Amino acid sequence: MLKGIPAVLSPELLRALAEMGHGDELVIADGNYPCHTHGQQVIRADGLGTCDLLAAILVLLPLDTYTDGAAFTLMQPVPGDDAPGIWRRYREILADSTAENRTVDCLERFDFYERSRNSYLIVATSETALYANIILKKGVVELPREEKERLK
């Protein structure tokens, strides 16, 4: 255990988050998502839901502010399906985070699948809500202003 690190983040997931570079993408996948079919690297988070993981990851992972689009992408429901109720909770978590880029976008299901194939990592959860999948684009970690001044 470490101080300040959310307990739901496993050592394996912490390592992967630290290895990610600017622009790399992470998929937080619900329990129905074909993670091992689409993911080059999959980390299992069995027993955890997407909301707990999202809140914990956003403590450590900066979202991309240099992208023209959103750094937070959801899977669009198939026509005829309702918008998932869990999205409201996602927006609350994002609003409560320190993320500078809070733009949210949606991708059609098969476009989401294709994009996830190029992601750095897929985290497989036990989330039962439908369309609970998220793509996060990692931003840069900037030095605090005091540190920048010290280095001048």
| pTM metric for this prediction | 0.91
Active-site residue, selected from the candidate residues 38, 52, 64, 131:
64
- Reply yes or no on whether the pLDDT at 135 is more than 90: yes
Q: Catalytic site residue 113?
A: yes
What's the topology of domain 16-141?
RbsD-like fold (3.40.1650)
Residue 2 pLDDT more than 90? no
pLDDT in tens, 81-114: 998 999 999 999 999 998 888 889 999 999 999 9
Instruction: List pLDDT tens digits, range 27-79.
Output: 999 999 999 999 999 999 999 999 999 999 999 999 999 988 789 999 999 99
Task: State the catalytic residue, choosing from 22, 36, 105, 111.
Answer: 22
- What average pLDDT does this structure show over 22-29? 97
Q: Where are the domains of the chain?
A: 16-141
**Amino acid 50: pLDDT:** 98
- pLDDT of 143 higher than 80: no
Q: Check pLDDT > 90 for residue 150.
A: no
DSSP state letters, 69-111? S-SEEEEPPPTTSPPPTHHHHHHHHHHHS--S---EEEE-HHH
Give the pairing of strands 121-125 and 134-137: unpaired
**64 a catalytic residue:** yes
At 107, is the secondary structure helix, strand, or coil? strand
pLDDT at 41: 96
